[in-house]
Chains A and B, each alone.
Chain A
Amino acid sequence: MTDMALTITNLWVRDRQGNALVKGVSLAVPRNGVLTLIGETGSGKSLIAQAVFGLLSPELAASGTITIAGHRPIEAGNPRALARLWREQIMLIPQEPSLALDPTMKVRRQMALAGLADAAINPALSAFDLPASTGQSFPFALSGGMAQRVLIATALGVGAPVIIADEPTKGLDTDRVTQTIDALRQLAGAGRTLLVITHERRVAEELPGELAIIRDGAIIERGESVHILEAPESDYARIWLDADPRHWPRCHRCCDMERLTLSAHGLSFGWPQQPPLFENLDLHLPKGGVLAVSGPSGSGKSTLGDILLGLRRPRMGSVEWGGIDIVASSAAIRPLRQRYQKLHQDPIKAFLPHLALMRQFKALEAVKPGLSVARDLPPLLDRLRVKPSLLNRLPGEISGGEAQRLALARILLLDPFAIIADEPTSRLDPVVQRETMLLLRELVDENGLGLVLISHDLALLRSLADETIDLSDHRPRSPAQLKGATASTTLS
């Protein structure tokens, strides 16, 4: 234990009512080593980082000791003593990078205030793929990933031997996650001791060193990363790690290409006075087929969904609902309106906030002739594994997973031909996400629906979809490049 750079011993965090949120956690990170702490939302993993820095909210009380190599152990309940370690011994890469930067000050000056020498700032920025102009920018001009790397560069620059990164990949696109993980590896390469707190399996996989899994405030498993990821010992760790989309059972089905429920030809779209987001896009969705649409944020994924739903007009091209062009004649939409539905990103917001769910379902009878909610809903809820008693509540009183299944029930009551699901599980925990997604796929199979799945999560799309369209392949390019580009990439 002598060569441990950071040791946390028997750390407890309790709220005012005395409920333990972190239950006797002991962790040690070896000098120049990396420890990844992984756990789901609410497992108490971020509280550990806050406790080490003495930054817990005043409502929470901590006990236990924090030891930095070469210093006497410090009581976790003594934030003043812990504050003396800041910058000299430990440094934080915080969860919300944009909130950590003063919005009214240029990045360069903020790095200088952290003690980086003027000449060191540009090299520090370029070491993390940031142009020198970043220094002259105000924080609001930076993307989330850039702000994150500014903070990583600052953390390296101040020279503290121990660095704690709290959810460094939260809210970042897939390729930005890669960039952040690279930057963290660079920190480890520069001889820093690293404690990384995350909920993403990918981070654990791509960082060297040790892994600890936390659940309900207690460490349930720890050891070499590679070993745990290969063969987790506890059941929870296995279920939870399997919730990663790349470990779902793969889908290989044959689709009925003869009976297209939704198709589009030569679609292009752009905001007024701006270059097109995508051009010349073709897509075909057969009954029982799953078509995935991916692309970085801002590439027009959701807009494409709206175009397919007839909510927005494309610049060019056609959208066909069962062979009827809805762009050419908007009158064609009306009789088919209810048959093309959308599953929203935030399921709770898809319901009226101040009206009991049952009444919202009842109201559907007014727009769907022949529908009897009393007759048709109970079997559906049974199939979706939702307790009927939930319907007496307000949308704010149920969980995200429950709300998404109820939203699905509402859509299924309308006998849809196709469902456009726009990031339907991005706000759900991994285990719930897996459950919801597999259910969605079963329903597609059972009812012969078409499903368009929009997501930035490539792993999720690959595990579910028959075909994937990457919108970044449809960005306008020079004519020469355009010739070589394929219209869509078929995965199998």
Chain B
Amino acid sequence: MTMLLEARPTRSRLPGAIWPLAALAAFAASGPFLAPYDPDAQDLLRVMEAPSWHHLLGTDHVGRDVLSRVLAGAPQSLGLAALCVALAASIGVMLGLSAANGGRFTRAAIMRLADLMLAFPGLLLAMLFAGFLGGGIWPMLIGLKLALWPQYARMAEAVATGVLREGHVEAARLAGFPERVILLRHVLPAVLRAILPLATFGVGQAIMSISALGFLGLGLKPPTPEWGATINELLPFLSEGFVQMAAPCLLIFVSVLLLTLAGRALATQTTGLNHD
């Protein structure tokens, strides 16, 4: 692991993209603890109440505090998306590296599988998993992961193949460094640099997919306060509770926007580094 640390750029500036990411992570982690009320506590005497000092974002159709619900939903919407992408990216990187490093047969097998998976519409795959396995966290995670890993595998394979052809890899081989060192010090850092922007962007896409599944009633099921599921529950009351509906919608939008911008910033930064 020290090899990995060594391989970092020496004049590492903290990328500007780190701040929105840190803010989102902090929000996802602390959300449930900030909730003023129990997110599941119903109060049928106070349904669809407009925002007030007691309920800053009003109440929903069974009298639950909307602010508490969206805060409690943060770890599910954001954390699950991050987890999902992290798993898919690690699987993809591992398979991509094996493909780049392996023989002709291994490479063909892995890359053809990736192509085949990419031939399926991503959300459809997740929907089928979620639908068949009856919703909940695991079917959705498996479905999304299956849909997501191929793009990371492709990227990792392309970058690793390129790096393995470069002069510094050949120089290291001729100097007698073992393959393990070459993989860890020469290939992996380059692959991770390329994967990072894609994964950041991917978390945003995963948030949209998870909330879409929740919205379709195929993801996390009510009363889970996942944002998409919350929107699904509130949809029939759209004309009465605009603020209640706007809260989870805005949260999804802002999270995805931050991740998209961070991904773009990371991408320009890494391509900028590659240029010099």
Contact = CB atoms under 8 A, between A and B. Distances in A.
A396 B185 CA distance: 18
A355 B177 contact: no
Interface string A344-357: 11110111111110
A337 B167 contact: no
A146 B157 CA distance: 35
A337 B171 CA distance: 11
Contacts of A414: 175
Contacts of B171: 342, 344, 350-351, 407, 410
A367 interface: yes
A352 B174 contact: no
Nearest to A355: B7
Contacts of B273: 353-354
A265 interface: no
A243 B10 CA distance: 37
B10 A355 contact: yes
Interface residues of A, number: 31
A364 interface: yes
Contact of A341 (B8, B167, B174): B174
B138 to A, nearest CB: 38
B174 A338 contact: yes
B9 interface: yes
| Residue of B6, B168, B273 contacting most chain A CB atoms (<10 Å) | B168
Given A349-B166, A349-B168, A352-B185, A309 B174 contact: yes
B15 interface: no
B168 A352 contact: yes
A407 B234 CA distance: 66
Interface in B70-129: none
A450 B167 CA distance: 21
Interface string A314-348: 00000000000000000000000110111011110
A218 interface: no
Contact of A359 (B6, B166, B175): B6
A156 B6 CA distance: 58
Contacts, number: 67
Interface residues of B, number: 23
A394 interface: yes
A119 interface: no
Given A355-B10, A394-B10, A368 B176 contact: yes
B167 A350 contact: yes
A311 interface: yes
Given A354-B8, A355-B10, A367 B168 contact: no
B8 A338 contact: no
A367 B173 CA distance: 11
Interface string B164-208: 001110110111110001000110010000000000000000000
A270 to B, nearest CB: 18
A346 B189 CA distance: 21
A469 to B, nearest CB: 22
A7 B9 CA distance: 51
B175 A367 contact: yes
Contacts of B176: 337-338, 367-368
A354 B171 CA distance: 16
Contacts of A349: 166-168
Interface in B1-30: 6-11
21 contacts: A311-B170, A338-B174, A338-B176, A341-B174, A342-B174, A346-B167, A349-B167, A350-B167, A350-B168, A350-B170, A350-B171, A351-B171, A352-B168, A353-B273, A353-B274, A354-B8, A354-B9, A356-B10, A364-B175, A397-B276, A410-B175
Given A344-B171, A396-B276, 10 more contacts: A341-B175, A342-B170, A344-B170, A345-B167, A350-B168, A353-B273, A353-B274, A366-B181, A407-B171, A414-B175
